[in-house]
A = this chain, B = another copy of it.
Amino acid sequence: MRDIPAELTFKQRLNACASLIEERLSQWLALSENGAGVPSRLAEAMRHATLGGGKRLRPFLVLESARLCGLADDNAVNAAAALECVHCYSLVHDDLPAMDNDDMRRGRPTVHRAFDEATAILAGDSLLTLAFEIMADPATHPDARIRAELCLGLARAAGRAGMAGGQMLDLEAPGRTLREGDILRLQAMKTGALIGFGCEAGAILGSASHERRQALRRYGAALGQAFQLADDLLDVEGDAAALGKATAKDAEAGKATLVALIGVENARARLRQLEEDARAALAPFGKDAHILAEAASFVTTRSH
């Protein structure tokens, strides 16, 4: 595998990363070799959940933060693919009838619609488990300390005090009065934790200095908040066709968002500030970080 040339623009780099990730996920989820011994229905459901699109923002953050810390893409792509497995598992379970009850995802039937609920539960479980299998695999990094640290960081970001905990808070939100602090906490857990880990993973993989690791954490925290706020704004204003899913679902579901609380104009101003915060956090990397800086703009201005 050749590295993606560094002189690409952000959009080119994002697309190139997406291709790399698609290819690597496809290898891990191959119906032979890596997938030997896996029941075919389960293997197909895992492929349905994982392959065929998505921006691949989280693995992009791993590859790009790793590049800033001196790693070639080839040495970060497994960790990036593992993180995407966690993201995809969370979508499969969040879409279930007992959760958000969504029929469509990225313009295709959700896993429990294309297969059935039991298969979707098991496909999600298996993707989550596969993420740790990949992280702990010697092919992901030759140094076991780094593999163990990646497993620990991923587990904390994905688990009860991270993404899964945030989803629990989200399910409890309808009918409750959430204050700004409550919403920020919910979003930091549900969306921020995994995005933040994606940025930090590059520093872990590259054994970066404390200063650089903290810088990537701060960048990730601002980016995560911006991502969620932009998503909430899209939910209010967006176009269903561009998103490939239903819009204004948050309001229908009675879910409290920051936009509903502080208004669209204030939310836009907050978003601009978060973009600035994200860019400012990248100072220790100088011009090398221009792609992550552009990623902050992309996240705040995306229309889908």
Contact = CB atoms under 8 A, between A and B. Distances in A.
Q: Assembly of this chain: how many copies? A: 2
Contact of A117 (B98, B130, B158, B159): B98
B42 A126 contact: no
Interface stretch (A140-148, A238-246, A254-262, A276-284): A140-148
A106 B96 CA distance: 27
B98 A160 contact: no
A175 interface: no
Given A41-B168, A133-B155, A160 B121 contact: no
Contacts of A151: 132, 135-136, 147-148, 151
A52 B38 CA distance: 33
A164 B116 contact: no
B144 A156 contact: no
A43 B96 CA distance: 21
A6 interface: no
A118 B171 CA distance: 8
Nearest to A135: B151
A103 interface: no
A161 B133 CA distance: 11
A37 interface: yes
Nearest to A121: B93
A96 to B, nearest CB: 7
Interface string A8-42: 00000000000000000000000000011111011
Given A93-B125, A121-B93, A121-B121, A165 B133 contact: no
A41 B155 contact: no
Contacts of A118: 96, 98-99, 171
Nearest to A126: B160
A167 B129 contact: no
Interface string A141-184: 00011011101101110111100110111011000000000000
Nearest to A86: B129
A284 B223 CA distance: 56
A271 interface: no
B155 A129 contact: yes
A46 interface: yes
Contact of A121 (B36, B99, B152): B99
Contacts of A35: 160-161
26 contacts: A35-B160, A38-B165, A39-B169, A42-B164, A42-B165, A42-B168, A43-B160, A93-B122, A96-B121, A99-B118, A119-B168, A121-B121, A122-B167, A124-B125, A125-B128, A126-B164, A129-B159, A129-B160, A130-B159, A132-B154, A133-B155, A135-B151, A136-B149, A144-B149, A147-B148, A151-B151
Closest 6 pairs between A and B when the two form their complex, measured CB to CB: A98-B117, A133-B155, A129-B159, A136-B152, A136-B151, A144-B145
